[in-house]
Amino acid sequence: MDALPALTRMVGDLAPTFGADYWSTKPYVYESRGDAQRFDDLFSADAVDELVTSRGIRTPFMRMATEGTVLAQKSYTAPGGFGAEVGDQVSSEKVLAEFAGGATIVLQGLHRTWPPLVEFTRRLTDDLGHPAQVNAYITPASSRGFDPHYDVHDVFVLQISGEKQWRIHRPVHVDPLRDQPWSDHRAAVAAEASGAAHIDRVLQPGDVLYLPRGWIHSAEALGGTSVHLTIGIAAYTRADVASTLLEVIGKTPALRGSLPLGIDFSDPAEVQPIVEQVLESLRAALAVPDDRSTAARQVQSVGAALARRLATDVKPEPVSPLATVDAIAALSATSRVRWRGSLRARVEDAGETVRILAGTKVLALPAEAASAVRALAGGAPTAVGALPGLDTDSAIVVVRRLLREGLVVPA
């Protein structure tokens, strides 16, 4: 089985070396070589019409734009009518009028609303180790949705139908963070975009473009309606490691003390000695510990904090409430279960118990269940009666609890 199935689907045989050769450093174009339907199971023009006409989507899951200007919501939404008295449901008639007039449709958050992309994005997140989200851009012929700009996240562009010409320019602000949008460098972006493009390429159905954050881009539909997916990757950065490390060491006694009563923050004479004291405490705390066990604990604390953040940012495989309750009721030695897909959890021994830490959830089970839990965490579907270290009755009790807590699912 391919170790990077979702990434391989986008960049082909390059996947094993993609991280070293392209990730976060330079753009890449993968040509489908005539395989125009290779993403049809993920999304299509018919899917756009279905979402607009019969899924009852509301803002902010859709927006529209013309030549870089986002349209007012009332121009493409309307009340839902009897039984759905909300004022911001997408109106297919209004969407038609704006789209026929040259406006781009943007369907947002498809990794939460369109089942094939829910699953694909989950697997891609497993491959990359960073959060991902998916939008679709539907652009009328010869129209441009947005002016040249850069994103503060990496993107993969999957051309679904039609053709789109992409013009890519080098960054004017390398590796922008989330609070450093392109509008902060509007003049520099416009100046760079007026020159010769680093890449000027027409994407055809099945093609993929990868853009690291900060690379300036604009796109124009050619000949007919263009549909493409933009998969945004909110990559964690070394700045995230630094801020997490500061959070960890900020809990040390030297930094927990209150500031003086009545301090005047506008007076440099009052603030300066406090800043100097804090900097000295930070220097001491940030020094590489001579004690290896202390250094290891520091690394573990930072890693655990970032793991918790990732578990919060990325949703694991959805659970089916009705099917799970039925599975619990019918559970037997022959029932097969598996670890919930993309569940980021840690299993650790804790004296007389084994603990499962999954985000904010902590589940403690008797220590004799440790081997069974670790076997399930390996990911392979397993019959309840075949779990190691437990008799059948105990295994049923343990699996029933794991099902109820959403840690395993019926296989």
User: What residue ranges do the domains of the chain occupy?
Assistant: 5-233, 238-313, 321-410
Residue 276 has pLDDT above 70, yes or no: yes
Question: Which residues contact residue 72 at a Cβ distance below 8 angstroms, ignoring those fewer than 6 apart?
Answer: none
Question: What is the pLDDT at residue 289?
Answer: 65
More confident of the two residues 365 and 245: 365
Which residue from 284, 289, 308, 310 is spatially nearest to 299, judged by alpha carbons? 289
Beta bridge partners of 104: 65
Measured in whole angstroms, the distance separating CA 10 from the mean position of its chain's CA atoms is 16
Yes or no: say if 139 and 104 are a contact pair by the CB < 8 Å rule. Answer: yes
Beta bridge partners of 365: 354
> Is 59 exposed, middle or buried (CB count within 10 Å of its CB: 0-12, 13-18, 19+)?
middle
- At 281, is the pLDDT very low, low, confident or very high (cuts 50, 70, 90)? confident
Question: What is the pLDDT at residue 198?
Answer: 97
Question: What is the pLDDT at residue 49?
Answer: 97
- In this prediction, residues 346-356 reach a mean pLDDT of 94
- At 240, is the pLDDT very low, low, confident or very high (cuts 50, 70, 90)? very high
Q: Name the CATH code of domain 321-410 (choices 3.80.10.10, 3.50.50.60, 3.90.930.40, 1.10.10.10).
A: 3.90.930.40
Residue 283, SS3 per DSSP: helix
Cα–Cα distance for residue pair 15/10, rounded to 1 Å: 8
Residue 392 has pLDDT above 90, yes or no: yes
Tokens read off for 336: 């097969």
Is the four-CA dihedral 13, 16, 21, 24 of positive or negative sign?
Answer: positive
- In this prediction, residues 373-392 reach a mean pLDDT of 96
Residue 1 has pLDDT above 60, yes or no: no
- In this prediction, residues 374-390 reach a mean pLDDT of 96
Residue 103 has pLDDT above 60, yes or no: yes
Residue 92 has pLDDT above 60, yes or no: yes
List the single range of 10-19, 285-294, 296-305, 322-331 with lowest mean pLDDT: 285-294
Question: Which residues contact residue 215 at a Cβ distance below 8 angstroms, ignoring those fewer than 6 apart?
Answer: 27, 150, 168, 169, 170, 171, 198
Is the four-CA dihedral 52, 55, 57, 62 of positive or negative sign?
Answer: negative
Longest dimension (CA), the chain: 74
- In this prediction, residues 39-53 reach a mean pLDDT of 97
Which residue from 122, 83, 127, 90 is spatially nearest to 108, judged by alpha carbons? 90
- At 247, is the pLDDT very low, low, confident or very high (cuts 50, 70, 90)? confident
Question: What is the pLDDT at residue 145?
Answer: 64
Mean pLDDT of the chain: 93
More confident of the two residues 155 and 1: 155
Residue 144 has pLDDT above 80, yes or no: no
- At 184, is the pLDDT very low, low, confident or very high (cuts 50, 70, 90)? very high
Q: What is the CA radius of gyration of the chain?
A: 26
> Could you give the C-alpha distances from 26 to 18, 169, 173, 232, 321, in angstroms and in order?
11, 11, 14, 16, 43
Question: What is the pLDDT at residue 81?
Answer: 83
Q: Which CATH architecture has domain 5-233?
A: Sandwich (2.60)
Question: What is the pLDDT at residue 292?
Answer: 74
Supply the DSSP symbol for 360. T
Query: What phi and psi values does residue 342 have, to the nearest 5 degrees?
Result: 60, 20
- In this prediction, residues 189-198 reach a mean pLDDT of 97
H or E stretch covering 292: helix 292-313
Residue 90 has pLDDT above 80, yes or no: yes
Residue 389 has pLDDT above 90, yes or no: yes
Residue 84 has pLDDT above 90, yes or no: no
H or E stretch covering 349: strand 345-350
Query: What phi and psi values does residue 306 have, to the nearest 5 degrees?
Result: -70, -35
Residue 262 has pLDDT above 60, yes or no: yes
Q: What strands lie across the sheet with 336-339, from one edge to the other?
A: 382-383, 336-339, 408-410
Would you put residue 180 in left (φ > 0), alpha (ψ -120 to 50) or beta?
A: beta
